[in-house]
Chain A
Amino acid sequence: MATNYKLERLNAGRDYIADNYQAPLSLSGIAKYSYMSPYHFLRVFKDTYGETPNEFLIRLRVEQAKKMLITENFSVSEICEKVGYTSLGSFSSLFLKQVGVAPTLYRRKLWALSTEAYRFPSQAIPACYAYHFLGKLAN
C-alpha cells in the first residue's frame, strides 16, 4: 500500500483514466498526472489497486461497452469508437476475452432475456437482489 501522499498522487492518475477512458491514452501521459515516471507509476498502481493502469482502462471500457450494447441502439462499431478503440477487431477480441462472448452475441443474448427494450435482464444482477427488488426467481 502506498503512503497517503503517494496514494493521493496515484488517485489523480487513476481519476484521469476514469475521466478520459474514451480517449486514446498513453501510459506516459497518465503517469504525468501522478508526477511519476511511467514505469514507477505502473508498478505502484498495480501494487495499490491490484490491477495495472491498462487493465483498469480495459475494465472501464468494456463495462461501458456492455452498458451501451444493452441500453443504447448504437452499432458495435459506433460503441467501439465511443469507448476509445480505433480498431473494431481489437475491441471485439478484447470484449470476447473479458466477457466470454462477442459484443453482438452479448447484446442478442441479454436483449432476448429482458422483458423490456434497452434494459438489462434481471439475470444480469445477483439473484438475491433480482428476487428482492423485482420478485423474480431464476428458472
Chain B
Amino acid sequence: MITSIAHATIYVLNQDEALDFYKNKLGFEVGDDMKVEGDFRWLTVYPKSNSQLQLVLAEPKEGPMFTKDSADKIRSLIEEGAFGAGVFETENCQKTYEELVAKGVEFIQPPTEQLYGVEAMGIDNSGNWFSLVQR
C-alpha cells in the first residue's frame, strides 16, 4: 500500500529564479538544495506547515532523457502556460491572494466562489499556473 506522496516535479525555466519565487513570494521553505554529480541541482521546496510533499524544481535540460529539441520544446510550453504546478491550499484565499498580489505575484483569476471552495488562480515566474484554494 502506498501511504503518501513524497515528491512531485515542477519544470521551471531557471532554478535560481524559481527558488526566489517559491521561497520569497509564496513563502515556501527549501527542503534540499544539493549539487549532484553530472551537473545536476536537486532542489525541493515545501509549504512551512507541511513537509510531507516536496516539490522538485527542475529544469528541462539536454541529457539522458531529453534531446536538446525536447528540452527546448518543454521550455517554450512552460512559458506558454501549458503546465500546472498544482493546487495550493490556504486557510483564507482572499487574504493570501492580497498578500501575494502585494508581492507582485501575477493572477489570472481573483478569489472566486467555486463548488469546492474559494479559488484564485496564479502563475509562477516560469509560466506554470497554480490554484490557490480555501476549502
Of B27, B38, B63, B95, the contact of A11 (CB 8 Å cutoff): B27
CB distance from B31 to the nearest CB of A (A): 9
- How far does the alpha carbon of A108 sit from the alpha carbon of B50 in the complex, in Å? 33
User: What are the interface flags for A10-45 relative to B under an 8 Å C-beta threshold, 1 for contact and 0 otherwise?
Assistant: 010010001000000000000000000000000000
- How far does the alpha carbon of A132 sit from the alpha carbon of B34 in the complex, in Å? 16
Given contacts A132-B64, A134-B63, contact A7 B91 (CB under 8 A): yes
Instruction: Please give me the residue from chain A that is nearest to B44 by CB atom.
Output: A125
Given contacts A18-B29, A125-B42, A133-B63, contact A114 B37 (CB under 8 A): yes
- How far does the alpha carbon of A125 sit from the alpha carbon of B31 in the complex, in Å? 12
Q: Is the CB of B37 within 8 A of A121?
A: yes
**CB contacts between A and B, total, < 8 Å:** 80
Instruction: Please give me the residue from chain B that is nearest to A3 by CB atom.
Output: B91
Q: Is the CB of A11 within 8 A of B48?
A: yes
In the assembled complex, A1 has its CB within 8 A of some CB on chain B: yes
* Total contacting residues, chain B, CB less than 8 A: 25
CB distance from A109 to the nearest CB of B (A): 14
Q: Is the CB of A120 within 8 A of B7?
A: no
CB neighbours (8 Å) of A50 from chain B are 51
Instruction: Please give me the residue from chain B that is nearest to A119 by CB atom.
Output: B37
Given A125-B40, A126-B6, 6 other A-B residues pairs in contact with their CB atoms under 8 A: A67-B33, A67-B34, A122-B36, A124-B36, A131-B64, A133-B65
In the assembled complex, B114 has its CB within 8 A of some CB on chain A: no
Interface size class of A (residues with CB under 8 A): 20 to 34
- Report 12 cross-chain contacts, Cβ distance below 8 Å, ordered by A residue: A11-B27, A67-B34, A70-B34, A114-B37, A116-B38, A120-B42, A129-B42, A129-B58, A130-B36, A132-B65, A133-B64, A134-B64
CB neighbours (8 Å) of B7 from chain A are 126, 129
In the assembled complex, A104 has its CB within 8 A of some CB on chain B: no
Q: Give chain B interface residues in 88-105, CB to chain A under 8 Å.
A: 91-92, 95
Instruction: Please give me the residue from chain A that is nearest to B6 by CB atom.
Output: A126
In the assembled complex, A106 has its CB within 8 A of some CB on chain B: no
CB distance from A44 to the nearest CB of B (A): 12
Of A1, A7, A118, A133, the contact of B38 (CB 8 Å cutoff): A133
CB neighbours (8 Å) of B65 from chain A are 132-133, 135
Which among B40, B56, B65 has the highest number of chain A CB atoms within 10 Å?
B40
Which 7 pairs from chain A and chain B are nearest by CB? Answer: A135-B64, A134-B38, A119-B37, A116-B37, A120-B36, A125-B42, A114-B37
